[in-house]
């Protein structure tokens, strides 16, 4: 059995429980997410935030604890090393090993029956208790359909559908959910799968979207659908909406547009174009609205300025412009979504070792 450490948390854990997974490098952005939760918390509810980590420093823990100084908000930290041991978590691209930590939540929080899981690259622009109150009785979790993935299935990248069907074993790939925001029925998950089984699946191979794929493989569409406003995927590079999700069925496009008009959670998902480096990114203004009250504001501003002034930062920006403003639009024009030519090029790229964004 993996280690259980929830007894180390000096928190009530009797109302809204929120779980993050984070490394020291990502603490400034976690701080912004936490600030957004605090700013929108109801005075009549209790909010306990648990951060799963391997390396957040004591100094950062103190800073984050001081940040959550409201009477009805608490924070605690759980070290996952005892649970993971020497397990190597496969990852690639912009993904980090911390993404797998959510799979340990059922075991690490044995006395908690339900918890929200949030990625650290997002802001909450509503009372998150509204998500927590969703009824997940009899289901392992609640989540939003992944509009981006469904758009890829329907023509943007036709290798995705067969991958989800044949390699993940999903009954209907259109049921694939986005795992950056979850309402986890921890009690149900403990009844249906062990953390050892989760980790065994995670380390069997390099999944395209890592533990998100593992969760979808296990759940296979048996989840409560919540509206995409609870996980609005920012219009990455201002291409996601017009180039990827545009291929999705009408109901998916309509729900995404509704979410864009009234987002409760804005998820800055993608390999780059994050608002702390690109102030013209979709909904960057809201990120900075909450960042202004973060104790890490100066550090976040410093990283932005360094990315603008340093040689490495400028080179990265030029690369991003070349790829996403030049190569990708040209590729979409020469190889339209859903075309045989596009499918052949993508399959050749993947065969040569290309990876997903």
Cα-based distances in Å from 110 to 157, 290, 318 = 40, 32, 48
**Long-range contacts, stretch 279-282, CB < 8 angstroms, 24+ apart:** 279/304, 281/234, 282/234, 282/235, 282/236, 282/238
CA dist., res. 17 & res. 183, Å (int): 10
CB 245 within 8 A of CB 147: yes
CA dist., res. 232 & res. 285, Å (int): 15
Secondary structure letter of residue 183 according to DSSP:
E
User: Strands across the sheet with 122-124, in order?
Assistant: 122-124, 265-267, 232-233
**Which homologous superfamily does the CATH classification assign to the domain defined by 6-315?**
Spore Coat Polysaccharide Biosynthesis Protein SpsA; Chain A (3.90.550.10)
CA dist., res. 252 & res. 246, Å (int): 9
50, 213, 199: which is closest to 117 by C-alpha? 50
This prediction's pTM: 0.92
Secondary structure letter of residue 322 according to DSSP:
I
User: Residue holding tokens 């020497």?
Assistant: 86
User: Which pLDDT score is estimated for 1?
Assistant: 34
Dihedral of CA atoms 127, 130, 136, 142 in degrees, nearest 10, equals -60
User: Which pLDDT score is estimated for 343?
Assistant: 82
Q: Per-residue confidence of the chain (357 residues) as pLDDT tens digits?
A: 333 344 458 899 999 999 999 999 999 999 999 999 999 999 999 999 999 999 999 999 999 999 998 899 999 999 998 888 777 777 666 666 788 899 999 999 999 999 999 999 999 999 999 999 999 999 999 999 999 999 999 999 989 999 999 999 999 999 999 999 999 999 999 999 998 899 899 989 989 999 999 999 999 999 999 999 999 999 999 999 999 999 999 999 999 999 999 999 999 998 888 999 999 999 999 999 999 999 999 999 999 998 888 888 788 878 877 887 788 888 888 888 888 888 888 888 777 665 555
Residues 6+ apart with CB under 8 A from 11: 48, 50, 74, 75, 76
- Whole-angstrom Cα Rg for the chain: 20
CB 146 within 8 A of CB 176: yes
């Amino acid at each position: 059995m993996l280690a259980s450490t929830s007894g180390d948390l000096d928190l009530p854990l009797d109302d809204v429980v929120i779980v993050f997974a984070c490394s020291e490098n990502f603490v400034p952005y976690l701080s912004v997410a936490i600030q957004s939760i605090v700013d929108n918390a109801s005075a009549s509810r209790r909010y306990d935030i648990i951060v799963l980590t391997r390396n957040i420093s004591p100094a950062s823990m103190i800073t984050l604890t001081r940040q959550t100084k409201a009477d009805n908000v608490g924070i605690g930290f759980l070290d996952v090393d005892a649970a993971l041991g020497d397990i190597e978590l496969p990852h690639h691209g912009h993904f980090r090993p911390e993404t797998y930590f959510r799979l340990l939540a059922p075991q690490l929080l044995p006395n908690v029956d339900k918890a929200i899981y949030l990625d650290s690259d997002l802001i909450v622009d509503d009372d998150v208790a509204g998500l927590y109150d969703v009824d997940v009785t009899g289901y392992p979790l609640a989540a939003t359909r992944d509009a981006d993935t469904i758009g890829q299935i329907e023509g943007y990248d036709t290798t995705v559908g067969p991958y989800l069907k044949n390699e993940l074993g999903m009954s209907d790939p259109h049921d694939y959910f986005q795992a950056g925001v979850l309402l986890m029925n921890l009690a149900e998950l403990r009844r249906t799968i062990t953390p050892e089984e989760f980790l065994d699946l995670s380390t069997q191979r390099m999944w395209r979207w890592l533990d998100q794929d593992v969760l979808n493989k296990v759940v296979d569409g048996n989840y409560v659908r919540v509206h995409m406003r609870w996980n609005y995927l920012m219009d990455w590079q201002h291409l996601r909406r017009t180039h990827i999700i545009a291929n999705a069925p009408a109901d998916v496009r309509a729900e995404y547009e509704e979410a864009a008009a009234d987002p409760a959670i804005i998820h800055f998902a993608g390999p780059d174009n994050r608002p702390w480096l690109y102030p013209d990114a979709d909904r960057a203004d809201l990120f900075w609205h909450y960042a202004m009250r973060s104790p890490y504001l100066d550090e976040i501003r410093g990283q932005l300025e360094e990315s603008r002034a340093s040689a490495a930062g400028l080179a990265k920006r030029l690369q991003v412009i070349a790829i996403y403003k030049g190569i990708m639009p040209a590729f979409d024009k020469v190889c339209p979504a859903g075309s045989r030519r596009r499918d052949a090029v993508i399959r050749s790229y993947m065969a040569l070792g290309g990876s997903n964004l």
